[in-house]
Amino acid sequence: MSDVISLERKLRALRAVVAPRDLASNVLVLSGLADRFAIIATPLGKMYIAWNEAGVSLVRPAKTAKAFSQLLEEQLGHRGVASPMPNNLQRALERRFAGEVHVKIAVDLRSRSAFERSVLEQTANIPRGAMQPYAWIAAQIGNPRAVRAVGTALGKNPVPLIIPCHRVIRNDGAIGNYIFGEASKERLLTLEGALI
Amino acid sequence: MTRPEGAPHPDVKLAAALARDLDLAFERTVMLYQDRLFRFATRFIGNPLDAQEVAQDAFVRAYRALKTYDAGRIRSLAVGPWLYRIALNTARNRVRGKRLTTGPLDQAPERATDPREQPDCRLIALDAAGELEAQIAALPLRYRAAVVLRYIEDLPYAEIAAALEAPVGTVKANVHRGMMLLRERLSAVEGIPA
């Protein structure tokens, strides 16, 4: 009988196990409830970039990681998990920002409507050094009258710089609005050689 | 683990929260059960590296399943036993598929030790705990699950039966048989009293 009690006591002593710190955050990321994020240098300065299994989900400047997490929650409904960026993603972003054209970067546009996705996918086809008017996007996606809606969709681009919404300008040739301000748009277009 | 007689199981509230807002309550579920599922997987498999993957996979499977359930089905879930069942199936698949990782020694699981123990006694205790862990991991699967859920997870027989989808009588028999095997095997190891 004492053997039984002794063994039970020893088994109970094996309870002192605590889950690794990253277990919960890994689960949330793998379940699609959280995105990982890190900070990276871009042509417009340092920005936070979030990503998940589907691709890059959000690119935004923020003062702190906490502020970026809040943005992530507001815009995508996902929790943010600060993490080191995978090397392949980091290299792809650096090459893209340095001006390399043929660098594939997966993006996650699942939070966007079908219309917004088609606008963003069409915008992704505008090559570096080129510009297209809002009306061109509208025509390309088969909605030639939806010019204003195209502008609205681009204004909500979750992944600017990766999907180059700065290459879309007004129909009258004016530079137009940009998610990070008109001056940033002009700077990017100048860097890319689209504006002389 | 014990609660006042007649008091509702805490899982009832959790199941209701999951039915109401799955995404919000799932995070709470992970926080509540992460230590338990990781510990169960660690003791069942005997390797903390694989245990982390098993626990993670189990939670993700649980979430994906919950996404397909209607609110009524979620409300009726006994969350704890259901999660243990998923973890057990995930762990069992791993053990059978032999997709186990050999981890470095410094990542071996933390063991409970009494800080007041003398160093020599502590060494002996660690050896004994290591032997016990190894013998648990070497038990046949049905006895191993029953013993770990009963004596390490401290679940009542009814919840173990729900987790293992077996009658309570069978669970009791498997716990008893598993404990007997453990005692025999520990006694057979020189210098390790059972």
What confidence tens digit (pLDDT) does each residue in B12-35 have? 999 999 999 999 999 999 999 999
Distance between terminal CA atoms of chain A? 91
Instruction: Give A38's Cβ-side CA count (13 Å radius).
Output: 14
Is residue B9's pLDDT more than 80? Answer: no
Q: B113: distance to nearest CA of chain A, Å?
A: 8
Between CA B148 and CA B142 the distance in angstroms is 10
3-state DSSP assignment of residue A40: strand
Q: Does A4 touch chain B (CB under 8 A)?
A: yes
pLDDT of A82-102, one tens digit each? 999 999 999 999 999 998 878
- Residue for token pair 């729900």: B162
| B138 φ, ψ (degrees, to nearest 5) | -95, -5
Strands A55-60 and A45-52: antiparallel
Between CA B159 and CA B165 the distance in angstroms is 9
Between CA B187 and CA A53 the distance in angstroms is 50
Percent of chain B residues topping a pLDDT of 90: 63
Check: complex ipTM more than 0.90: no
Q: Specify the amino acid at residue B133.
A: E
Mean pLDDT score of chain A: 93
B190 pLDDT band, cuts 50/70/90, is: low
**pLDDT score recorded for residue B98:** 60
Region A112-137 average pLDDT? 96
Between CA B146 and CA A92 the distance in angstroms is 49
**pLDDT score recorded for residue A2:** 64
**pLDDT score recorded for residue B191:** 57
**pLDDT score recorded for residue B113:** 41
Chain B hits for A6, Cβ within 8 Å: 193-194
Q: B167: distance to nearest CA of chain A, Å?
A: 23
B8 pLDDT band, cuts 50/70/90, is: low
Chain A hits for B48, Cβ within 8 Å: 17, 20
Q: Specify the amino acid at residue A171.
A: N
Catalytic residue among A165, A168, A169, A188: A165
DSSP secondary-structure letter at A144? T
pLDDT of B123-153, one tens digit each? 445 566 688 899 999 999 999 999 999 999 9
A132 pLDDT band, cuts 50/70/90, is: very high
Length of chain A: 196
Interface touch A13/B151, C-beta < 8 Å: no
User: Is A15 marked active-site?
Assistant: no
Percent of chain A residues topping a pLDDT of 90: 88
Q: What is the DSSP string of chain B?
A: ----TTPPPHHHHHHHHHHH-HHHHHHHHHHHHHHHHHHHHHHHHS-HHHHHHHHHHHHHHHHHHHHHS-HHHHHT--HHHHHHHHHHHHHHHHHHHT------GGGSPP----TTS-HHHHHHHHHHHHHHHHHHHTS-HHHHHHHIIIIIS---HHHHHHHHTS-HHHHHHHHHHHHHHHHHHHHHSTT---
B94 pLDDT band, cuts 50/70/90, is: confident
**pLDDT score recorded for residue A149:** 96
The verdict on pTM exceeding 0.90 is no
**pLDDT score recorded for residue B51:** 95
> Which residue among A6, A7, A23 sits closest to B52, beta carbon to beta carbon?
A23
Interface touch A12/B151, C-beta < 8 Å: yes
Which residue, among A3, A7, A27, would best test binding to B if mutated, counting the most B CBs under 10 Å from its CB? A27
**pLDDT score recorded for residue A108:** 96
**pLDDT score recorded for residue B4:** 55
DSSP secondary-structure letter at A34? E
Region B154-171 average pLDDT? 95
Interface touch B112/A13, C-beta < 8 Å: yes
Mean pLDDT score of chain B: 83
pLDDT of B96-121, one tens digit each? 776 554 443 334 444 444 443 444 44
Beta bridge partners of A59: A49
- Distant-in-sequence, close-in-space partners of A126: CB < 8 Å, separation ≥ 6: A132, A164, A167, A168
A75 pLDDT band, cuts 50/70/90, is: very high
Q: Specify the amino acid at residue B121.
A: C
Sheet holding A34-42, edge to edge: A55-60, A45-52, A34-42, A79-82
Q: Does A77 touch chain B (CB under 8 A)?
A: yes
For residue A147, which of A172, A166, A183, A112 has the smallest C-alpha distance?
A172
Are the C-beta atoms of A51 and A29 separated by less than 8 Å?
no
DSSP secondary-structure letter at A166? G
**pLDDT score recorded for residue A141:** 96
pLDDT of A154-167, one tens digit each? 999 999 999 999 99
Is residue A195's pLDDT more than 80? Answer: no
Distance between terminal CA atoms of chain B? 26
- Could you tell me the sign of the dihedral formed by the alpha carbons of A131, A136, A142, A143, in that order? positive
Region B45-62 average pLDDT? 94
Are the C-beta atoms of B151 and A8 separated by less than 8 Å?
yes
CA B54 to chain CA centroid, nearest Å:
11
pLDDT of A28-40, one tens digit each? 999 999 999 999 9
Which residue, among A7, A8, A17, would best test binding to B if mutated, counting the most B CBs under 10 Å from its CB? A17
Region B79-98 average pLDDT? 90
- In terms of pLDDT, which residue wins out, A4 or A75? A75
Which residue, among B54, B56, B175, would best test binding to A if mutated, counting the most A CBs under 10 Å from its CB? B56
Chain B hits for A76, Cβ within 8 Å: none
Region B175-188 average pLDDT? 92
Size of the A and B interface in Cβ pairs below 8 Å? 94
**pLDDT score recorded for residue B3:** 52
